[in-house]
């Protein structure tokens, strides 16, 4: 029996405790158990599997048998707080703004069939963010009195490269302001790469800007849903831009590049698209499911068996690549249950509406980039700041320690209760996690834990 993981730091004063929860599962020929509270991952033999099952069922140990030594080892982990551990939930700290998603362009050349931004305009007219709005947003974020000295700014849209002068000015202005405050800003830009020239890619690399480039995988899959306004295909142009970014960032110690695709009901065999993108030379790939939108594209609960099989195929392929000395990173398999975000972040997921806000071209502040235009999630503007703090309070009411469906869940600290925007669009409320996303998260985390166990076992053998 092997163990991987350490106890989760819980901070100081506690309000209440989340119940203990251990998830036993089998993946890829391994018997695995994951302790939700401590982040401990166990790789079990048959005796350990039997002994843990007895403990969870409250059964007394068998009088004889190989499970007795394993049971003693498991009970030692329990005494050390690494198994069946409850989690004291600390009094939540006062939320402080740390990140902004700047919608520098509510405009786009493309008309993606599943786009939640309705072609980039979010249901309104096309517009670009003026320089003064972007600078006011930076001033709001880099508040000298907040105590924060590490901030994040994401350039988003629409297509942010359509407002390149403001992107450049914002980077230079924010870096200079952060330097005067003794802090640092991390930049990310999400782009369709159609306007990503070598010169622009070079500037972004020079200033340490991480890139997220949208490619949906195989050309026929991409072009079926990602077209220009005149219905022209975009795959070849997008690929050229993405390869320019790879060339600019190659060997750079700072900025990273992720290729981010989307899969729909038209390509349930999405593992083929991930493997295809890895084969083009992109070492970091993400594929996001469409859980809403047009009925012909949106995934359904009855797709779950096929999707689970696809995640399994992809995990096995990633493991084989790692064994061959050619590892790749699939976003949803990246997992550090013991050394990842602090407990407060695990309870509140992305921090939308509290630590993170979205900014429209006119300077309005929304709780999330996907909730732009939904009036009840408008929190203020860049000039007056947060004028509706009750929105942030409402977002904070739905952390996993307060959601009954999440309190008992083994994956509660891995997903933080799921995407708040998806929950709202599905249920009309923040009080329930999104149904399909919740199921997919659990499948992905099981395979991510399996991959972590594989790496642990390989390290032990080395």
Q: Give the tens place of pLDDT for each residue, 16-63.
A: 677 889 999 999 999 999 999 888 999 999 999 999 999 999 888 765
Average pLDDT over residues 137-161: 94
CB of 215 within 8 A of CB of 270?
no
Average pLDDT over residues 410-435: 86
Average pLDDT over residues 273-298: 93
Average pLDDT over residues 384-413: 84
pLDDT given at position 218: 97
Among residues 141, 190, 153, 128, the alpha carbon closest in space to that of 362 is found at 128
pLDDT given at position 367: 93
Q: Torsion-angle region of residue 11: left (phi > 0), alpha (psi -120 to 50) or beta?
A: left
Which residue has better confidence, 342 or 165?
A: 165
Residue 401 pLDDT exceeds 80: no
Residue 121 pLDDT exceeds 50: yes
pLDDT given at position 11: 36
Q: What percent of the chain has pLDDT over 70?
A: 90
**Is residue 304 exposed (0-12), middle (13-18) or buried (19+ Cβ within 10 Å)?**
middle
Residue 159 pLDDT exceeds 50: yes
Which residue has better confidence, 323 or 401?
A: 323
pLDDT given at position 198: 92
Distance CA 208, CA 257 (A): 11
- What is the SS3 assignment for 386? strand
pLDDT given at position 16: 66
pLDDT given at position 65: 66
CB of 391 within 8 A of CB of 382?
no
Label residue 183 by pLDDT band (50, 70, 90): very high
Label residue 357 by pLDDT band (50, 70, 90): very high
Partnered with residue 234 across adjacent β-strands are none
Label residue 120 by pLDDT band (50, 70, 90): confident
Label residue 226 by pLDDT band (50, 70, 90): very high
Residue 181 pLDDT exceeds 80: yes
Q: Of the given ranges (224-228, 343-347, 419-423), which has the lowest mean pLDDT?
A: 343-347
Q: Which helix (H) or strand (E) holds 4?
A: strand 2-4
Which residue has better confidence, 459 or 409?
A: 409
To the nearest whole number, what is the mean pLDDT of the chain? Answer: 88
Label residue 6 by pLDDT band (50, 70, 90): very low
Which residue has better confidence, 407 or 142?
A: 142
Contacts of 113 (CB under 8 A, 6+ apart): 224, 225, 226, 227, 264, 294, 297
Q: What is the pLDDT of residues 213-223, one digit of tens each?
A: 999 999 999 99
pLDDT given at position 7: 30
pLDDT given at position 77: 94
Partnered with residue 42 across adjacent β-strands are 3, 33
Phi first, then psi: what are they for 344, rounded to 5°?
-60, -40
Average pLDDT over residues 119-147: 92
Q: Give the CA distances from residue 291 to residues 298, 430, 438, in Å, rounded to whole numbers and listed in that order.
A: 5, 16, 11
Residue 1 pLDDT exceeds 70: no
Average pLDDT over residues 182-187: 96
Distance CA 193, CA 241 (A): 5
pLDDT given at position 34: 96
């Amino acid at each position: 029996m092997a163990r991987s993981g350490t106890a989760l730091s819980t901070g100081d004063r506690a309000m209440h405790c989340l119940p203990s929860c251990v998830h036993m599962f089998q993946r890829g020929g391994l018997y695995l158990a994951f302790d939700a509270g401590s982040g401990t991952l166990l790789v079990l033999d048959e005796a350990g599997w039997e002994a843990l099952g007895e403990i969870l069922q409250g059964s007394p140990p068998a009088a004889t048998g190989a499970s007795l030594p394993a049971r003693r080892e498991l009970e030692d982990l329990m005494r050390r707080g690494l198994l069946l551990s409850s989690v004291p939930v600390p009094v939540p700290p006062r939320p402080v703004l740390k990140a902004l998603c700047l919608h520098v362009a509510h405009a786009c050349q493309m008309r993606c069939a599943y786009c939640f931004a309705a072609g980039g305009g979010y249901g309104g007219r096309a517009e670009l963010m003026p320089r003064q709005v972007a600078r006011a947003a930076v001033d709001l974020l880099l508040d000298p009195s907040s105590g924060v000295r590490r901030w994040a700014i994401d350039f988003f849209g629409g297509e942010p490269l359509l407002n390149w002068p403001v992107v450049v000015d914002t980077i230079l202005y924010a870096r200079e302001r952060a330097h005067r405050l003794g802090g640092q800003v991390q930049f990310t830009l999400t782009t369709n790469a159609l306007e990503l020239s070598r010169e622009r890619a070079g500037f972004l690399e020079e200033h340490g800007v991480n890139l997220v480039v949208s490619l949906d995988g195989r050309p026929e899959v991409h072009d079926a849903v990602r077209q220009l306004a005149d219905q022209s295909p975009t795959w070849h142009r997008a690929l050229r831009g993405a390869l320019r970014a790879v060339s600019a960032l190659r060997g750079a110690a700072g900025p990273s590049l992720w290729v981010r695709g989307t899969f729909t009901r038209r390509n349930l065999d999405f593992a083929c698209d991930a493997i295809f993108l890895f084969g083009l030379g992109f070492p970091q790939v993400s594929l996001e499911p469409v859980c809403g939108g047009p009925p012909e594209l949106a995934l359904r609960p009855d797709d779950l068996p096929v999707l689970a099989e696809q995640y399994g195929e992809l995990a096995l392929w990633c493991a084989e690549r790692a064994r061959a000395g050619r590892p790749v990173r699939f976003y949803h398999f990246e997992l550090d249950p013991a050394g990842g975000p602090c407990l407060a972040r695990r309870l509140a997921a992305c921090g939308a509406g509290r630590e993170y806000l979205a900014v429209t071209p006119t300077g309005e502040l929304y709780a999330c980039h996907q909730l732009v235009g939904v009036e009840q999630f408008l929190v203020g503007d860049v000039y007056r700041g947060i004028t509706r703090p009750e929105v942030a309070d409402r977002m904070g009411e739905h952390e996993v320690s307060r959601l009954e469906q999440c309190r008992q869940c083994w994956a509660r600290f891995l997903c933080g209760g799921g995407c708040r925007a998806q929950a709202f669009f599905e249920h009309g409320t923040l009080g329930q996690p999104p149904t399909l996303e919740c199921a997919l998260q659990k499948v992905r985390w099981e395979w991510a834990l399996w991959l972590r166990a594989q790496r642990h076992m390989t390290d032990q053998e080395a």
